[in-house]
Amino acid sequence: MNHNELARKLKEGPAVFGVIGLGYVGLPLALEFAEAGIRVVGFDIDPVKVAFLRKGDSYIQQIPAGRIKPYVDGGLFEATGDLDRLGEVDVIAICVPTPLDGHRQPDLSFVEATSRDVASRLKKGQVVILESTTYPGTTREVVLPILEEGSGLKGGSDFFLAFSPEREDPGNKDYRTRTIPKVIGAMTPAGLNLVKVFYDRVFEQTVPVSSLEVAEMTKIFENTFRAVNIALVNELKMLALRMGVNLHEVIDAASTKPFGFMPFRPGPGLGGHCIPIDPFYLTWKAHEYEFSTRFIELAGEINTGMPRFVVERTAEALNRAGKPLRGSKILILGISYKPDIDDMRESPAVPVMEGLLERGAKVDYHDPYIGKMPATRQTDLRLESIPLKDYAELEAYDAVVIVTNHSDYDYREVVRRATLVVDTRNATAGIPNGGSVWLA
């Protein structure tokens, strides 16, 4: 099949889309293409996920089963753990994790392993798109050599390689995958054209850029921008608390300026797969060019230190009440990384809870979306959400720490029932509290 024939097939023909990794990025992407009438084969190494999807069930709270089952029953979406079926697809999207290792350096093991799996099954004419967030140069310097060596094929002529960063925002009701502009960078102009015509079938807007590295840098820049600004407000929050000033009120007032200001909110630390991780990918890559990203590194220090600040603030609040942190019963409200979702990736609740436990506190949690705290690569606290029926349960605790401001909570009842509230999200703003609420 020549390039023109492949372009026609991807633009309007019966092309098949393969998505490797059916998590918070891969599953929404796969479903968008299935909803557009394009057959999708989804691949995942987790047999539990595959079993769920084959029955039309969901394991992600914000993706209801009703959005999956019609396409499973209609044959437009199929989940499998059999990577040998990659030969059936025309376009392969790699949506696997890119975490940090124990030394806060990039861990590309999932990308590398998946690239080897693809390489051993790659055939001429296929398009491979890396969607996992990573540092500029990964697609060309890491993925391309693995694909060429493992397949014996030549990138840019035998197969086509691109990078298109995911821009998922779990729980955001204003945007969905297809309505978020899709940035695309490719190894060659021909590859860029192929990805664009294929993604144009689903996405409302595609944004082609000049190279793989520009596309990779775009996502890193977006999240570094947020991380740096969040670090700024986190630092100012700590100062404002010492000064007796409510920074949230300051931000509200500053937001009335119709130009030159963008509001960011402080919190207990960064969460989610991207913002706490991506800046460190860029910082690591910068060392190759003998360049120190001092601004980014300082922001990282501030943000990663916020859970420790919450622990210290809780200890201070208890001390003012005549109680030591050691032996105190602490209830954490909300452990997902953002409100109203079941995603715990990089949640600041974990280091907050660990810090409290290390100081001798007895810690429980409640989260309406997470019944059992999942193990992570770094920790396994083996905790389950306590029942919370009428908020009377709060009276048994020395302090309640609001880490995630879920909309499900009645914060007036939280303030009324709890002896002491440490509020990291300003969730109790405007509620009379008699001095029982501490901002953190």
SS3 202: coil
Tokens matching residue 1 = 């099949």
Tokens matching residue 428 = 């109790």
Q: State the catalytic residue, choosing from 274, 277, 356, 373.
A: 274
Architecture of domain 3-212: 3-Layer(aba) Sandwich (3.40)
Biggest CA–CA distance in the chain, Å, is 78
SS3 17: strand
Asked if 399 and 308 count as a contact pair (C-beta separation under 8 A), the reply is: no
Q: What is the pTM of this model?
A: 0.92
Class at the top of the CATH hierarchy for domain 307-440: alpha beta
pLDDT at 59: 92
Question: Rounded CA gap, 234 and 232, in Å?
Answer: 5
Q: What is the DSSP string of 235-301?
A: HHHHHHHHHT--HHHHHHHHTTSSSS-------SS--SSSTTTHHHHHHHHHGGGT---HHHHHHHH
CATH for the 222-304 domain, from 3.40.250.10, 3.30.300.210, 2.40.50.100, 1.10.1040.10: 1.10.1040.10
Asked if 394 and 428 count as a contact pair (C-beta separation under 8 A), the reply is: no
> 160-163 and 182-186: which strand pairing?
antiparallel
**Is residue 95 among the annotated active site residues?**
no
Which residue type is seen at 321?
Answer: A
Residue ranges of the chain assigned to CATH 1.10.1040.10: 222-304
Tokens matching residue 371 = 């019944």
Asked if 76 and 113 count as a contact pair (C-beta separation under 8 A), the reply is: no
Residue ranges of E strands in 324-398: 329-333, 362-366
pLDDT at 382: 86
pLDDT at 1: 63
Residues of the chain with pLDDT under 50: none
Which pLDDT tens digit goes with each residue over 318-329? 999 999 999 999
Tokens matching residue 168 = 């998922």
Helices 144-151/109-119 angle, 10° precision: 30
Residue ranges of the chain assigned to CATH 3.40.50.720: 3-212, 307-440
pLDDT at 435: 85
Instruction: State the DSSP H helix or E strand holding residue 191, giving kind and residue range, or none if neither.
Output: helix 189-199
Query: First-to-last CA distance in the chain?
Result: 61
